[in-house]
Structures are given as structure tokens and as C-alpha cells.
Amino acid sequence: MISTTILGWSVTTLAIAGLIIATRIRKRKKYQNALAPLVSFASENNATLSHYDLCDKTLIGLSMDEPKRIFFIRPLPERETRVMIPLKDIKACRMHKSERTSKLQEHSVVVIDRIEMLVSLKNSKTEMSLEFYNTDFNALNITDELLLAQKWTDLLKSNLNDQ
């Protein structure tokens, strides 16, 4: 009786462990497949990515190989944005959040329309926009776009200060 119970629990434990491991492997492969275009873009430019992130379908990465470069891919319905910028060409960067206030019944609600990282280039007076979120293209709910834009702005600023 006791050996049957032990055997039953052992089989159940092994089955659950197998499911957990299979789920993690599947999730890791899905993440790697989603990052494949960014890794390929970096490889085409003879770079390997030291840091990278994925949010929704927006991909961003940093190569610490000389020359240091940032890679950005954002697929949109009509086109795909692919940007590679050498860090030596960047003068400054900042995060920008476009928001508006809407009335909802008796309350005011702040709605974020766009989240982007604005990059000022040394040889240009205009800023280049690396857009992480736009209500025209993304779902209405913001997931990690705001945190990701802030993280990459800080990472870029720290690497600009190192040069």
C-alpha cells in the first residue's frame, strides 16, 4: 500500500516536472525566434549583441564591439523600421512620452499616445525617433514599453558618457 502511494507520487512528480521543463524550453525557443531578426541585422553589420530586449514586436540591441552600435527594429503594418546607429555619432538621447488628459465620467484620465527614445545625432539638427509604442499601431494596453524606453535611454546615456 505504501509502495503504491510512493510510486504514484513519484510518477506524478516526474510528469509535472516534465511539463514544466517542456514549457520553459518552448518559451525560450519562442523568445529566441522573436529575437532572430535583430541578431541577423547585427550579424549583417558585423556585430554581436551584448544587450538586447524585446517588447511586443519592438526589438532593440546594443553591440559593444568596436564601433559600438545600437540596433532597432520595429515592424509596422505598412513598413518595418530598421535602424543602426554608431554610438560615436550620437550627441544625446532622451525618452519622450506623448500624453493627453481625457475626461471619463467624472474623472480625468491620462492617456499615453506615444513612447519613443529621441536620439540627437552629432551631424544633424533633427532628432531621430526610435518608437516603442504608438496607439495607432499597438494594442490599447501598454505592457513594458515605458520601462523599456527608460531602460534603453539610461543604458545609451551611460555608454555615451563612457566614450
User: Tens of pLDDT along 30-83?
Assistant: 656 668 888 888 889 989 898 999 888 889 999 988 889 999 999 888 888 899
| 142 pLDDT higher than 80 | no
* pLDDT band per the 50, 70, 90 thresholds, residue 125: confident
The mean-pLDDT minimum among 41-50, 121-130, 135-144 falls in 135-144
* pLDDT band per the 50, 70, 90 thresholds, residue 99: confident
**Cα 133 to Cα 57: distance, rounded to the nearest angstrom:** 10
* pLDDT band per the 50, 70, 90 thresholds, residue 111: confident
3-state DSSP assignment of residue 152: helix
CA 91 to chain centre: 22
| φ and ψ of 22, to 5 deg | -65, -40
Q: What is the predicted pLDDT for the residue at 32?
A: 66
Overall number of domains in the chain: 1
Mean predicted confidence (pLDDT) in 120-144 = 84
Number of alpha helices (DSSP H) and beta strands (DSSP E) in the chain: 2, 7
Of 76, 74, 78, 79, the C-alpha closest to 128 is 74
Q: What is the predicted pLDDT for the residue at 117?
A: 94
Q: For residue 102, what is its C-alpha cell?
A: 481625457
Domain span including residue 110: 2-162
* Neighbour count for residue 119 (Cβ, 10 Å): 22
Of 48, 52, 74, the C-alpha closest to 61 is 52
The H-assigned helical ranges of the chain are 2-44, 145-162
pTM of the model: 0.77
| 24 pLDDT higher than 90 | no
CB 55 within 8 A of CB 132: yes
